[in-house]
Structure 1
Amino acid sequence: MKNTGPAASTKELIMDAAIDLFSKWGYDKVSIREIAREVGIRESSIYNHYKGKEEIMDTITDYFIAELARAAPFDVPMEDLLKQYGAEEFMKMGARSYLQLINTPRIAKIWRIIAIELFRNEKVRRFFKASMVETPVASWQQTFDIMMKLGYIKECDTRLLAQEFFYHCIYLFFDYFIIRFDETTYDTFTDSMLKDLEPHIRFVFESVRVKEA
């Protein structure tokens, strides 16, 4: 969300202005002068807070990573939650909790920036590969390993299962932030994503769950 209250520092306002502009035009098309104009300060004042445009982008990425980490769905041990709610409901709760925590206008704009910059920004591409593909797949593999140990799902290749499950989430990312970006707003983001994600969760779980005798 754009931080325009009395407590907003100039540095925060610069970051918010950059997020707005980068999400509309892309990183390469926006100049320091345009960011300064958006904030209402002199161009030279930007350099009192950031070394340049690249550092602004790095700050945005660091903020995004911190927010994703903060949105970790549960503090309770996974095994306890699985025993309490069951595997399918645990997956739905995790998805719902995660999407609600990251569902803000500011975060939505950063998602859009990442989608735009993936094609031409090597640093963003490395970030996306590590933080948005490899780390989540490894996390889901660990989750499915625990489900298998507890007898919720059949013996299977949990790495492949994690990929099959999470790659659909990556598709939803591109569907929302590239294909249908102008069709929905951040207000409907959570409901829209869950509408697509919950049937997928059910389908994946049904294909591997241990059937009761």
Structure 2
Amino acid sequence: MRCLILVRRNTKEIILFTALELFADNGYEGVTMRDIAAGVGIMQSSLYKHYKSKQEIFDSLIEKMRSQFGNIVSSLGLPDKPVEEMAKEYGERGHAFLVELSISAFNFYSSDPHASQFRKMLSIERYSNEKINRIYLDLYIDSALTYQKALFTEMMRQGYIREGDPDIMALQFYSPVFLMLSKYDAGSVKDDKAIALLKEHVIQFDRTYRKE
């Protein structure tokens, strides 16, 4: 019985990630249950044993990826600490610490096939689906800006960076990163220059705001 459960679980995941690849390439409306079944290599009737509809596959995929993104901090080895501790660590360790974190996150979002395809899928569907648009904004824009605003506010309070508008600081820090991620959504091949540019961006940001 245990083996059967494992096989069933693996099949469901294969279905989800096959659908993700198809949705990222063709959009939700451009994919049928027949396409997904063919991609998995099973009969369409077998597909319905796991998911009742394409919408259920899509919704399950959204929930699975959002859940996985919740574990990104630990999977990338990024510190999972209160913003007060992160502000202190960044303040004491200097820009090298923020460079390391930024490159780790950037590499994941731009290179991990599931993360990259998921972002591509959401980018396609957000204009025709308000729910998807809210998920896209939360995952890739709002949550990042909210956290960075809190981090820079705390760093100002602790005296590591000079006074300024934390909303503007967050925009100045994150906008180039988001722009670079968007560039690779279009299929461009990431090279060493991209990582070097990201590193220089973080260093310049640090030099602009850090107190002597």
Aligned counterpart, 1:122 = 130
Matched ranges for 1:42-81 at <5 A: 42-72=43-73, 73-76=78-81, 77-81=85-89
Report what 2:103 is aligned to.
96
TM-score (norm 1): 0.81
% identical aligned pairs: 27
For the residue of structure 1 that corresponds to 2:50, the secondary structure is coil
Give the residue type in structure 2 aligned to 1:75. Answer: D
Of the three residues 170, 176, 197, the one matched with 2:178 is 170
After TM superposition, the runs of 4+ consecutive aligned structure 1 residues lying more than 6 A away are none
2:116 is aligned with what amino acid? A
The answer (yes or no) to whether the contact 2:87–2:151 under 8 Å persists in 1 is no
Aligned-residue offset at 1:69: 2.0
Alpha-carbon separation, structure 2, partners of 1:156 and 1:79: 16
Higher relative helix content = 2
Name stretches of at least 5 consecutive residues in structure 2 with no aligned partner. 1-5
Structure 2 residue identity aligned to 1:162: A
Q: Secondary structure at the match of 2:203?
A: helix
Aligned partner of residue 152 in structure 1, secondary structure: coil
TM-score by length of 2: 0.82
Aligned to 2:93: 85
Residue correspondences, number: 198
Q: Distance in 2 between matches of 1:163 and 1:194?
A: 20
> How far is the alpha carbon of 1:159 from its aligned partner?
1.5
Instruction: Describe the shift of the 1:82–1:12 C-alpha distance in structure 2 as closer, same or farther (beyond 3 A).
Output: same
Q: Write out per-residue CA displacement over residues 149-194 of structure 1, whole angstroms, 9 at most, x where no aligned residue.
A: 222211111122112221222212221102xx1x31xxx57x5653
Query: Is 2:180 the counterpart of 1:154?
Result: no
Query: Counterpart of 2:61 in structure 1: which amino acid?
Result: I
Query: RMSD of the alignment, in Å?
Result: 2.3
Matches of 1:80 and 1:161, distance apart in 2: 17
Do 1:147 and 1:153's aligned partners in 2 also have CA atoms closer than 8 Å?
yes
CA distance in 2, matches of 1:16, 1:41: 14
- Gapped regions of structure 1 (runs ≥ 5): 1-5
Residue of structure 2 in register with 1:194 after alignment: 195
Read off the aligned partner of 2:171 and give its amino acid letter: Q
Q: Note if contact 2:122-2:132 (Cα within 8 Å) is conserved in structure 1.
A: yes
Q: Which amino acid aligns with 1:137?
A: L
